[in-house]
Amino acid sequence: MPEFVPVSAMNSPALPHNASHSLYLPGRHLCQFRAVSAYLGLAIGDALGATTEFMTPHEIQSQFRVHRNMIGGGWLRLKPGQVTDDTEMNLALGQALIEAKTMQPGTVADFFVRWMRSKPVDIGDTVSRGLRRYLNQGTVEAMPEEFSAGNGGLMRNLPVIIATLSEPHLMESWSLAQARITHHNPLSDAGILLISELTRLAILHGQEAPLQSTIHHYLQKYPIFDFSHYRGESDGYIVHTVKTVLHYFMHTLDFESCLLGIVNQGGDADTNGAVAGMLAGAFYGMDQFPSRWLKKLNPTVKDQIHSQVDQLFEIFEG
Ligand SMILES: [Mg+2]
């Protein structure tokens, strides 16, 4: 296992004196701050990475030297700060959880379909195929696929992680329920659960020791995710996404360096950026985000994120 680069103390605000503590979740305000940070980090990684999606590191270097600003463009010809399916599917899943106040796969699928019909700027092939199956057959679980393990179920799981913070025994079943609407593969399941558990721990504790321990135990069970000899594979295969994200998260000291490493790797840069932005965002907190990124991010998306996190926290508090 690679050495974890020591990170100094969390740069998060202290709890206000009048902080109200949930019965179920100690340090609720700090957790909520980190949850919003994870969501904003995800959207930033998506918007930043979309510029270099499908490019090689060499092509990125030739064009930008280093891609470091939220300029939009890319093969989708985005506006600066515009997000793609990665962020939008999280928002759709979040709305479904808030409406149902629980995990109802049919409600989630309905919100995904509503999003698909809104003519999104991009949609993955496996997502599209899964939602068409839901529309045609009414089934909320894709057939297991032996040879296809995309990262689409992982990229959109943050609302589940946030909603189940105070009910951790539900995170696994809810995560797999939403993912398998379109993605059903043992490696996809394992990758989702590893990254989701790391993100959950980062939101709850903001410390590296529990993350190190979780990675260590997980890699013993799933050595395929070992990233100690990462060779730069960064396509949409779940194993490559997990390795790319862990490689850059574990070998950088701040949010900006982590995301710059990811998006300059190219490939599935928006999804890898979204997943890394989620994990690094939770860990470092949004007060470490470069203001040039936070300012450029689509303001409607920022508002939706703040509102959703409030409501996701309330699901088990009502
Ligand atoms: Mg995308």
pLDDT digits (tens, 9 = 90+) for 258-313: 999 999 999 999 999 999 999 999 999 999 999 999 999 999 999 999 999 999 99
Q: 170: CA distance to ligand 1 center in Å? A: 27
Q: 153: CA distance to ligand 1 center in Å? A: 12
Q: 84: CA distance to ligand 1 center in Å? A: 5
Q: 155: CA distance to ligand 1 center in Å? A: 9
Residue 238's closest CA among 206, 195, 209, 279? 195
218, 225 contact by CB (below 8 A): yes
Give 150's strand partners: 237
Angle of helix 238-250 relative to helix 269-284, nearest 10 degrees, comes to 40
CA distance 47 to 81: 6
Q: 138: CA distance to ligand 1 center in Å? A: 26
pLDDT digits (tens, 9 = 90+) for 178-201: 999 999 999 999 999 999 999 999
CA distance 30 to 16: 9
Q: 216: CA distance to ligand 1 center in Å? A: 30
pLDDT over 70 at 122, yes or no = yes
- pTM reported for the whole predicted model: 0.92
The first and second tokens of residue 29, run together, are 């305000």
pLDDT over 70 at 249, yes or no = yes
CATH superfamily of 28-314: ADP-ribosylation/Crystallin J1 (1.10.4080.10)
pLDDT digits (tens, 9 = 90+) for 284-295: 999 999 999 999
Which of 8-17, 110-119, 171-180 comes out lowest in average pLDDT?
8-17
**78 backbone φψ class: left, alpha, beta (φ>0; ψ -120 to 50):** beta
CA distance 196 to 286: 19
pLDDT over 60 at 23, yes or no = no
